[in-house]
Chain A
Amino acid sequence: MRRYPLRVIALGYLLLVLLGPLAMIFWRSFDEGLGPLWTSLSDPNTVHAFTLTLIVAAIAVPLNTIFGVVCALAIVRRRFPGAGLVNAIVDLPLAVSPVVVGLSLFLLYGRTGWFGHWFQAHGIQILFAPPSMVIATVFVSLPFVAREVVPTLRELGTEQEQAARTLGANGWTTFWRITLPSIRWAVIYGVVLTTARCLGEYGAVAVVSGRVEGQTETATLRVQDAYENFDLAGAYGISLVLAVLSVVVLIAMTCFKPNQEERA
């Protein structure tokens, strides 16, 4: 077929939109040499920003993984009225702008919010503190594990589980030794996607965090902060680290991606 023109279009487009920008991070970061790069990366506030990003991910990813598996089981295995609605709600975060997420958290936990008074009365800081950032990140990264596990569970069918049950295994054992191992690659792929989303979150945490240096800045917030304060070296430096992390995630995605041909 008309191979070459198509190939040229596709590859040319990718170069323009995708690979060119990616190359820029690596180029610009080393513009001023390794010295300034190291200085900006070893700034204690930058180190804290990365730590906070990782901590938020370390909480959000396991939560959403557990939720994703349990939810997928509930949707696929237990036929209940409203399963379709649950499915749609799980997909909701994909259609919501991150800024809108941040706003809704403001409306819930802000001073004049639904629960604002209660939390303030008990001295618990939700907004402008890590808890709101965790909640926001959990929201935006919610669907991924569920979306990967649901089709896999559907395809697998229940014969092995039913066989196990006739042999006397209880629900928990069946889940742990039959179901979970058979969906593990879907779970792992979902975890990789969830982690990528958590590391890259910007819009929602920008609204709720208050940008306190060394307290509530994540790596992504710090990039924008550095840029605004004319600290390009810092902005590129942090971006470089994030880009390297993304490449690692990308490799993981490629390795664990459910094999397309096997699904046919």
Chain B
Amino acid sequence: MAGETAFAAPLTGRRARPSSEGAAAALSLGFTTAFLSIVVVLPIAALVWASRADGLQQFWSVATQPEAVAALELSVGAALLVTLVNAVVGTITAWVLVRDDFHGKSFVNAVIDLPFALPTIVAGLTLLALYGPKSPVGVNVAFTRTAILLALLFVTLPFVVRTVQPVLLELDREAEAAARSLGASELRVFRSIVLPNILPGILSGVALGFARAVGEIGAVVLISGNLPYRTEVASVFVFNHIQSGDQSGAAAVAVVLLLISFAMLLTIGGVRFGVTRHERA
């Protein structure tokens, strides 16, 4: 395949780069850095600055006020629970899509990406229609924490599925066949052969899903009712405090949210590194 074969020293050997190439290199790097700085780094810097504007003590007292803590606990708790469910069901779904065959499989495969394509507010509205006061199936969970879980399950559905699928596709089935022929049970085969290989994929999906779930607002804002201390998630807390002019309070909780997402991403990244290390050894 192109690129995989080792390419020996170029026919022309080392040659001084033509000046246009040097200029292009500098230009692309400069453009990238400038764009990233203006679009991403600057806003985040302003956020961090605002949160510590009144000093670290103020930051701490604002971030630990009861309503903020309740909102953050709810967001993190819900995101963790949803992530756990996704890890299991997402893997099962990926398995079914790769190893199984049935009518309409390609339709199901395509539809998995729907939460990526559908605006979150529309998702929230439809969940409200299906599982709210006017539910056609008689299920009314609007204004409860269950509603939040439902909304988050919707938006994070594709993550684990899409990170596990490619790994499952690549998996060499001979090892499994060998194990089976030696008398290992299906469960054993899965646990000792398949699982270690797909674990990095699951972990990636988990990390991305968590980061997404902990900050979600669109899908949650209609169906949860946003009741303080009960169904108000951290993103709604931040939104309300921006509206009421409390920018430093909003910034404090926003920064905490950010740190939580980063912590999760780093942890998962580290765990992935540890898990895959033995493969590289």
A and B touch in the complex (CB under 8 A): yes
B11 is an interface residue with CB less than 8 A from chain A = yes
Contact B221 A224 (CB under 8 A): yes
| Secondary structure of the B contact surface, majority rule | helix
B119 is an interface residue with CB less than 8 A from chain A = yes
Query: What is the size, in residues, of chain A's interface with B at 8 Å between Cβ atoms?
Result: 97
Contact A171 B20 (CB under 8 A): yes
Question: A-facing mask of B205-234, CB < 8 A → 1, else 0?
Answer: 000100110111110011000000000001
Residue among B41, B111, B262 making CB contact with A250, cutoff 8 Å = B111
When distances are taken between beta carbons in the complex, the residues of chain B under 8 Å from A180 are none
B184 is an interface residue with CB less than 8 A from chain A = no
Contact A67 B32 (CB under 8 A): yes
CA distance A78 to B122 in the complex (A): 42
A71 is an interface residue with CB less than 8 A from chain B = yes
CA distance A98 to B212 in the complex (A): 10
Question: A-facing mask of B1-32, CB < 8 A → 1, else 0?
Answer: 11110010011100000101100110011011
CA distance A155 to B4 in the complex (A): 7
Question: B-facing mask of A219-253, CB < 8 A → 1, else 0?
Answer: 11001100100000001100100110011011101
CA distance A154 to B4 in the complex (A): 10
Selected interface stretch from B55-63, B195-203, B251-259, B271-279: B251-259
Which of A's residues lie within 8 Å of B, judged by CB?
A: 1-3, 6-7, 9-11, 13-14, 17-22, 24-25, 27-28, 67, 70-71, 73-74, 78, 80, 86, 89-90, 92-108, 110, 113-114, 135, 138-139, 142, 154-160, 162, 166, 170-172, 175, 193, 196, 199-203, 206-207, 219-220, 223-224, 227, 235-236, 239, 242-243, 246-247, 249-251, 253-254, 260-261, 263-264
Q: List 28 A-B contacts (CB under 8 A).
A: A6-B92, A17-B153, A18-B157, A22-B118, A28-B126, A28-B129, A67-B32, A70-B32, A74-B28, A86-B36, A97-B217, A97-B258, A98-B217, A99-B239, A100-B235, A107-B251, A108-B46, A157-B3, A158-B3, A166-B12, A170-B21, A196-B117, A200-B118, A200-B119, A203-B218, A223-B119, A250-B110, A260-B165
